[in-house]
């Protein structure tokens, strides 16, 4: 009999290690963060050693946890590919897309239905991760959408996915009509995402203002920062690409849209292997994606 820990525990560990967050792992697996924490602690008890270094902002794997995650990730990728092959009809095509978590949750997933309707013969296998992916090594992945930068490798083509408009966003209930936006932005709680490659300091400097010296709310993903802003916790500095739904529904407003300067930056990049540019499923998805980001 194989000596393998309960798969439920391994699944919770893998999601938490990949997303570096118990909260995001819980969301992905439709559990509570406390349930993820409990399952991870149970797995740590099985091994008799810690697998994570915990902080109030994020979780990082220990050396042993990293080794387990890397091995487990490869095994799950192989298992997933095997199951997909069994489920698909002989004529079906599977397109494996690796994507930055917030881009996947806030922008790509809501639009995938349009691609699938136009391409019923292609099945999307979507995975997410915060780190850039090396497509020369990860042969099981067809396309990668990464945040901040893409790994430059011989035989890999990288396409920027356009400039993004980065602005302060807050719930409309926070707007005080008795004060102008410059007064308010200096008083409101600032929300930041730890992984963003732009900062509030950049924004205040751009707008010729002093950076307020007070505690800020901090999250490890842009999607979480936007959710916090919707809940009225403060004002988030984020790309409007991630907040399209919230802005359209009136859950968020751009703070001082006519007062402040905004930042425009290329933040997401599409990578593909050069020798696969004419592969039908790859070509179709890239054409659709480029068109979609242009709006």
Q: What is the pLDDT of residues 173-213, one digit of tens each?
A: 998 888 889 988 989 999 998 888 899 999 999 999 999 88
Over residues 38-54, mean pLDDT: 92
Q: Provide the pairing of β-strand 235-239 with 163-170.
A: antiparallel
Fold adopted by 163-265 = D-Maltodextrin-Binding Protein; domain 2 (3.40.190)
Q: What angle (nearest 5°) sits at the alpha carbon of residue 91, between those of residues 85 and 94?
A: 45
Superfamily of domain 76-102+121-161+267-294: Periplasmic binding protein-like II (3.40.190.10)
What does the mean pLDDT of the chain come to? Answer: 90
Percent of the chain with pLDDT over 70: 96
Global pTM exceeds 0.85: no
Give the closest residue to 194 by CA, choosing from 262, 130, 255: 130
pLDDT of residue 139: 86
Burial of 68 (0-12, 13-18, 19+ CB in 10 A): buried
pLDDT of residue 84: 64
pLDDT of residue 68: 92
> What's phi and psi for 254, nearest 5 deg?
-80, 120
- Identify the CATH assignment for 7-71 out of 2.160.20.10, 3.30.870.10, 1.10.10.10, 1.10.3470.10: 1.10.10.10
| pLDDT above 90 for 50 | yes
| pLDDT above 70 for 20 | yes
- Residue ranges of the domains in the chain? 7-71, 76-102+121-161+267-294, 163-265
Decide which of 10 and 176 is more confident.
10
pLDDT of residue 89: 43
Least confident of 29-33, 46-50, 173-177: 173-177
| pLDDT above 70 for 92 | no
Of the segments 86-95, 168-177, 190-199, 235-244, which one has the largest average pLDDT value?
Answer: 235-244
Per-residue pLDDT of 246-273, as tens digits, reads 999 999 999 998 999 999 999 999 999 9
Of the segments 8-12, 176-180, 214-218, 286-290, which one has the largest average pLDDT value?
Answer: 286-290
> What's phi and psi for 138, nearest 5 deg?
-85, 75
Of the segments 70-79, 121-130, 163-172, which one has the largest average pLDDT value?
Answer: 163-172
- Read off the tokens for 91: 């004529």
pLDDT of residue 64: 93
- Read off the tokens for 286: 């890239």
Asked if 76-102+121-161+267-294 and 163-265 have one fold, the answer is yes
| pLDDT above 90 for 216 | no
Q: How far apart are CA 214 and CA 209, in angstroms?
A: 15
């Amino acid at each position: 009999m194989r000596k393998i820990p309960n798969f439920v525990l391994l699944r919770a560990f893998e999601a938490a290690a990949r997303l570096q967050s118990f909260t995001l792992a819980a969301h992905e697996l439709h559990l509570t963060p406390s349930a993820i924490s409990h399952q991870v602690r149970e797995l740590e008890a099985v091994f008799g050693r810690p697998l994570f270094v915990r902080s109030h902002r994020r979780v990082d794997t220990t050396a042993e946890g990293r080794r387990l995650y890397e091995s487990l990730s490869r095994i799950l990728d192989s298992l997933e590919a095997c199951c997909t092959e069994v489920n698909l009809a002989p004529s079906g095509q599977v397109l494996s897309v690796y994507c930055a978590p917030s881009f996947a949750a806030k922008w790509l997933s809501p639009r995938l239905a349009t691609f699938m309707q136009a391409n019923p013969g292609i099945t999307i296998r979507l995975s997410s991760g915060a780190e850039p992916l090396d497509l020369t090594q990860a042969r099981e992945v067809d396309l990668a959408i990464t945040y901040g930068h893409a790994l430059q490798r011989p035989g890999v083509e990288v396409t920027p996915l356009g400039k993004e408009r980065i602005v302060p966003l807050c719930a409309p209930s926070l707007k005080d009509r008795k004060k102008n936006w410059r007064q308010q932005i200096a008083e409101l709680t600032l929300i930041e995402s730890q992984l963003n490659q732009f900062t509030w300091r950049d924004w205040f400097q751009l707008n010729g203002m002093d950076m307020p010296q007070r505690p800020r709310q901090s999250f490890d993903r842009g999607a979480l920062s936007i959710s916090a802003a919707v809940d009225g916790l403060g004002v988030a500095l984020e790309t409007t690409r991630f907040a399209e739904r919230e802005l359209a529904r009136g859950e968020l407003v751009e703070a001082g849209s006519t007062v402040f300067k905004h930042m425009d930056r290329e933040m997401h990049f599409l990578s593909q292997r050069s020798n696969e540019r004419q592969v039908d499923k790859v070509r179709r998805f890239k054409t659709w994606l480029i068109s979609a980001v242009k709006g």
